[in-house]
């Protein structure tokens, strides 16, 4: 669709909805009556205050949203409305370096310039909860969260085995099956390449997995998936949670990212003669990603809640290791992949609190640094390890504060796409979040200390 065709299409609707990413990766929007939409909107864009999206301070916050006509879809939750994603530019029409899409595009352009690859392909797995209700309050006299969910599974005698009761559960125990069918119908109806959906291991926990696709497309789709899933659940009287660890003693929600690199239509991770059929470049990519993992986690796991998920016993990685088919490793080489065109690795650390464009860019640049330096993951001590015991490796960071220290000390590999002022802003923003969380009395402190 060219601009002329797009403008003709807009006239068949009452409204054009422009969607913009804020600094957290959440969608915001502004809606234009279709009669206002002209060539000028496509050429000059629409001005907005970026400070309210977390990008700049109010002394200089004017930005321009530029509609991406290739992303136009029918808005699922408003009649006669066409929806488009936007790029963001500075008033002088230069690219805004902090905008999530621009960061990821810069990372991919850097890889192209190096001649290593032309495309990053990914397959995200989106885990989330659908609860009957969530109420939470933080005030001077109340700190609480109350969640209504599916009934708990019947407990077995073996410790921790009860979690497996939920995996691929059938109705009536899978109580939101029809709701998820409707979610996926809307997602596929607007072009999202969904692979499947199913009940996950935890209470009220579910997964929607993508087909393998271009990283920028995937990063664009994920916030839309969150938006659609939340709105469909709302229409049913439910609420969706993407927090990594909403329930004590239950499996947390990850955003595992399958990934590989393509050069001129060839998967450069594939080598039938290599370890696990992986090429030397793929192994170096693994080494770079694991070597920089503590810093990368500032973007793939950027919340205090992220580190309540990354604990032993819940198929969540706690060490920077790689292995074949092992879900306890930070990087798993899927054992079921026999097609060399889809040869890939799975990074299991990320979660959906990430700004996914930043997360994809950070993972890519870490892996590319490993390729540039010809790193070997085995010589670096990252494995391969089988089983749950990895005694020779230090743990991955266990708090957000630790990963911010890691990012301060290790961010040169990010410089092709992340500016130094952006890194400073991100660290400052996240430390404010830590300070806020640490200032709030925890209900468990009453259990531990009230009677002392």
Respond yes or no: is residue 79 known to be catalytic: no
Residues contacting residue 149 through CB under 8 Å, at least 6 positions apart: 129, 131, 132, 203, 204, 247
Respond yes or no: is residue 200 known to be catalytic: yes
DSSP state of 310: S
Respond yes or no: is residue 3 known to be catalytic: no
Query: In whole angstroms, what is the distance from residue 188 CA to residue 265 CA?
Result: 25
Respond yes or no: is residue 49 known to be catalytic: yes
Q: Which residue in 222, 223, 197, 193 sits closest to 210, CA to CA?
A: 193
Query: In whole angstroms, what is the distance from residue 158 CA to residue 152 CA?
Result: 16
| Bridging pattern class, strands 331-333 and 322-324 | parallel
Respond yes or no: is residue 125 known to be catalytic: yes
| Token duo for residue 186 | 């809307």
Query: In whole angstroms, what is the distance from residue 277 CA to residue 66 CA?
Result: 43
Query: In whole angstroms, what is the distance from residue 440 CA to residue 131 CA?
Result: 25
Name the active-site residue from 75, 150, 162, 207. Answer: 207
310, 328, 351 from 252: Cα distances, Å: 8, 14, 9
Respond yes or no: is residue 256 known to be catalytic: yes
Name the active-site residue from 309, 348, 357, 411. Answer: 348
Query: In whole angstroms, what is the distance from residue 128 CA to residue 244 CA?
Result: 8
CB 177 within 8 A of CB 207: no
Name the active-site residue from 4, 49, 152, 374. Answer: 49
Name the active-site residue from 87, 162, 271, 346. Answer: 346
Respond yes or no: is residue 162 known to be catalytic: no
Residues contacting residue 398 through CB under 8 Å, at least 6 positions apart: 307, 310, 311, 318
Name the active-site residue from 93, 168, 234, 327. Answer: 327
DSSP string, 341-401: GG--EEE----TTS-HHHHHHHHHHHHHHHHHTT--TTTTT-----SS--TTSPPPP-SHH
| Token duo for residue 430 | 């996240």
Name the active-site residue from 87, 125, 150, 270. Answer: 125
Name the active-site residue from 75, 87, 101, 127. Answer: 127
Residues contacting residue 162 through CB under 8 Å, at least 6 positions apart: 153, 154, 155, 156
| Token duo for residue 275 | 């370890």
Q: Which residue in 262, 280, 396, 375 sits closest to 331, CA to CA?
A: 396
Name the active-site residue from 101, 197, 256, 411. Answer: 256
Name the active-site residue from 87, 150, 162, 200. Answer: 200
Longest dimension (CA), the chain: 73
Active-site annotation, residues? 49, 125, 127, 200, 207, 256, 327, 346, 348
């Amino acid at each position: 669709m060219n601009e002329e065709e797009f403008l003709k299409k807009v006239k068949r609707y009452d409204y054009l909805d422009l969607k913009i990413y804020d600094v957290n990766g959440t969608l915001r929007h502004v809606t234009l009556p279709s009669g206002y939409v002209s060539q000028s909107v496509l050429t000059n864009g629409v001005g907005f205050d970026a400070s309210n999206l977390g990008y700049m301070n109010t002394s200089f916050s004017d930005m321009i949203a530029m509609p991406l006509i290739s992303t136009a879809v029918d808005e699922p939750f408003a009649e006669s409305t066409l929806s488009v994603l936007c790029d963001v530019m500075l008033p002088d029409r230069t690219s805004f370096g902090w905008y999530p899409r621009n960061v990821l595009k810069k990372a991919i352009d850097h890889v192209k310039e190096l001649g290593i690859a032309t495309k990053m392909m990914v397959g995200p797995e989106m885990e989330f909860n659908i609860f009957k209700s969530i109420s939470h309050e933080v005030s001077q006299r109340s700190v609480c969260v109350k969640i209504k969910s599916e009934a708990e599974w019947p407990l077995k005698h073996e410790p921790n085995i009860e979690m497996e009761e939920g995996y691929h559960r059938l109705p009536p125990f899978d109580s939101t099956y029809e709701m998820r069918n409707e979610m996926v119908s809307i997602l596929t109806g607007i072009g999202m390449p969904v692979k499947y959906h199913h009940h996950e291991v935890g209470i009220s926990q579910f997964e929607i997995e993508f087909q393998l696709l271009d990283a920028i497309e995937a990063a664009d789709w994920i916030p839309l998936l969150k938006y659609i899933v939340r709105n469909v659940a709302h229409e049913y009287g439910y609420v969706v949670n993407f927090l990594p660890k909403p329930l004590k003693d239950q499996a947390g929600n990850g955003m595992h990212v399958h990934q590989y690199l393509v050069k001129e239509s060839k998967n450069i991770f594939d080598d039938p003669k290599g370890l696990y059929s992986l090429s030397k470049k793929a192994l170096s990519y693994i080494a770079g990603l694991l070597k920089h993992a503590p810093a990368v986690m500032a973007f793939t796991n950027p919340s205090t809640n992220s580190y309540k998920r990354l604990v032993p016993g819940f198929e969540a990685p706690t060490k920077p290791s790689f292995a074949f088919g092992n879900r306890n490793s930070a990087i798993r080489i899927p054992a079921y992949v026999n097609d060399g065109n889809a040869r890939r690795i799975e990074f299991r650390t990320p979660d959906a609190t990430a700004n996914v464009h930043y997360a994809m860019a950070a993972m890519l640049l870490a892996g590319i640094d490993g390729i540039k330096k010809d790193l070997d993951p085995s010589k670096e001590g990252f494995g391969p390890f089988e089983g749950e015991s990895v005694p020779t490796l230090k743990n991955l960071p266990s708090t957000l504060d630790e990963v911010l220290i890691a990012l301060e000390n290790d961010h040169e590999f990010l410089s092709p796409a992340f500016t130094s002022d952006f890194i400073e802003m991100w660290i400052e923003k996240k430390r404010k979040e830590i300070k806020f969380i640490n200032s709030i009395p925890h209900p468990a402190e009453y259990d531990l200390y009230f009677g002392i």
